[in-house]
Structure 1
């Protein structure tokens, strides 16, 4: 069944692409608009409406005005939902604090029986194979402080796994908690990554703040779909000497043309790292911008929402495998490379309001 679904997905993608690349002269009343390229589809439907009788067009105008009224109702709904989310998180904080204390080993909970159904046992040969593959866990002492490798295991069971590089793993083993602080002055939320003392950086907390808007843009009102992240702000990481995981130093030999003497020139390059997450560009996302830099930012925003709404509230279920989402391995036909570039050259920095919207940080 899995192979069949994969085949159908590829065929659908291929067929859709083929129809979207169709010449404009092939577009007719018989063609389904869904298969026309986006901008052309918009023009096609607008022309269709213009072709209708005036009496029908008048009805459509009235319905679109009704839609504007509905958007105001939607806006109030989303504002209330965001406030409810803040209230729910506040009520859950005591449970999150207990979770952190258990993970970092500052509190040992009492032995207790499960109030949930235990998973069905694995087939013996599968269980034996997994036990061999996970042999390193046999070395965990019977009396262990906290829960070793909790958050990095959670990350490795989610889409965050793609962000974690080999050199990041040891540093992320010091991560003991991820918490949220909601803004009071402006709609926003701050992700706080709490680390135990380590030899990688001096900071006990690394932060990433996301700024939201829940307003209707009257130049394009029908694009409103609720609160949107407009921009974000990271934090400076105070790395210990030679421990910066976001850079790589390479040495090159250089020979003097006259004397023939050699010297080594050291150059620093940006490298892929989970910790680049805390150094976003200070630029606002524009809906009409499809450049690679904005695609990267939109992906960043999705990760933030994923952390806030899925991973943080349900972390233990990702650790235990009670939540296992789709396979994040990239399909060969779907792989895309995003050129990270140099931060100063790659991003043009639009002016942003970076007033700290989160008071209680």
Structure 2
């Protein structure tokens, strides 16, 4: 739902340029007949800030001017209508080629989706093994362990382990694996509250699946817990049936599982308790009020765009941002978290992300240095030339 608006700066300073279609005033005749036309008065009108005062004191003129300027944004130039019939015929031929190109783009996107489905089937056995290792249902083979430390990242840590650790209490699987994964991701760590963490400790797996229509589903599997009775919470993202301008799939909406909260364990609300005193009897009573609370589990209650723009209230003014953020979380789970969960658990994925950000910062910093260096070179050149300024005499050459 892209919404655009024309923001026209009507207070832009007048440029001293030759008149062009871009800077020629819209109104060539006097706007206000009561404005005096003497030279002295004209000089007064042209003093800085006077135009702003005129517009500020005349809201009708300001509104009309904004409407005229806003109507020019995105308007066709009319150049095509000035071309001859032979040229317009060739333009129609180009449109035909573009239609064929769009059809190929659509096929390209469909093949990409088919490849994603194909390789998800190949990934699934690996994901199943991962789930078994995480939940203590199976142990990795010696070959897998050796392959896992081939890069030497964990060898030093193993050497530092104390021998007495062998006698410590046995732990099944990898405790709090998915909670650690989600908290390591920048976008999810912002939406996970302290209350959520205890419930997310029971998260045992996150699975990705596709279905016949364009879209994808994320399944969050939980072990029995004190917060809700659901064993699986799902979030499904749907695309529009028609492809976008570039031939890609366009996000339409999302649907989530209704969470069956146990009594007094709903993390999506907070109970506020207030005491009220009756004026006549002076008796007090306790009133409980349910207030929405921030929680990770709001992820399963996605925002919904109103069908009619007139229905948008103050709370939904930022609905586009909410929809974009919600879809972004789903994309991160699909493309990054589920495929590379172990890298997020160990922090390796975050290190790569930090390196990318650092590279961008360094790149910009080097550009700034180059620009500053160029300025310094110019200054040095000016000093070396040591040319006299206009109106000054050149320094005399005194011989000893």
CA 1:59–1:49: 2 relative to 1, 3 Å: farther
Is residue 103–residue 247 contact of structure 2 (8 Å, CA) maintained in 1?
Answer: no
Q: Deviations over 1:83-109 (max 9, x none)?
A: 111111111111101101111111121
Distance in 1 between the 2:81 and 2:10 partners? Answer: 25
Q: Kindly report which structure 2 residues correspond to 1:317-356, keeping only aligned pairs within 5 A, or say none.
A: 317-324=343-350, 325-326=353-354
Q: Of residues 175, 181, 189 in structure 1, which corresponds to 2:216?
A: 189
Q: Kindly report which structure 2 residues correspond to 1:93-242, keeping only aligned pairs within 5 A, or say none.
A: 93-111=124-142, 112-114=145-147, 116-119=150-153, 143-158=170-185, 159-184=187-212, 186-213=213-240, 215-216=242-243, 223-242=245-264
Is residue 231–residue 285 contact of structure 1 (8 Å, CA) maintained in 2?
Answer: no
Q: Of residues 274, 278, 290 in structure 2, which corresponds to 1:256?
A: 278
What's 1:305 paired with? 331
CA 1:30–1:173: 2 relative to 1, 3 Å: farther
CA 1:187–1:85: 2 relative to 1, 3 Å: same
What's 2:291 paired with? 269
Is residue 230–residue 285 contact of structure 1 (8 Å, CA) maintained in 2?
Answer: no
Q: What is the deviation of 1:50?
A: 3.4
Q: Deviations over 1:258-295 (max 9, x none)?
A: 111000100001100000111124547899x9941232
Distance in 2 between the 1:294 and 1:75 partners? Answer: 26
Q: Deviations over 1:170-217 (max 9, x none)?
A: 111111111022112x2222110011121111111101111113524x
Q: What is the deviation of 1:121?
A: 9.9
Confirm or deny that 1:54 pairs with 2:83: yes
What is the root-mean-square deviation of aligned Cα atoms in Å? Answer: 3.6
What's 1:89 paired with? 120
Q: Which secondary structure state, in structure 2, belongs to the residue aligned with residue 294 of structure 1? A: helix
Confirm or deny that 1:72 pairs with 2:59: no
What's 1:347 paired with? none
CA 1:42–1:50: 2 relative to 1, 3 Å: farther
Q: Of residues 10, 17, 25 in structure 2, which corresponds to 1:23?
A: 10
Q: Which has the larger radius of gyration?
A: 2
Distance in 1 between the 2:333 and 2:70 partners? Answer: 35
Distance in 2 between the 1:87 and 1:42 partners? Answer: 49
Structure 1: tracts of 5 or more residues without a match: 1-19, 32-39, 132-137, 328-361
Distance in 2 between the 1:30 and 1:320 partners? Answer: 57
Distance in 2 between the 1:190 and 1:281 partners? Answer: 17
Q: Which secondary structure state, in structure 2, belongs to the residue aligned with residue 156 of structure 1? A: helix
Is residue 203–residue 237 contact of structure 1 (8 Å, CA) maintained in 2?
Answer: yes
CA 1:43–1:66: 2 relative to 1, 3 Å: farther
Larger RCO (CA within 8 A; separation ≥ 6): 1
Distance in 1 between the 2:88 and 2:181 partners? Answer: 54
Q: Deviations over 1:292-311 (max 9, x none)?
A: 12321121111111111111
Distance in 2 between the 1:64 and 1:326 partners? Answer: 44
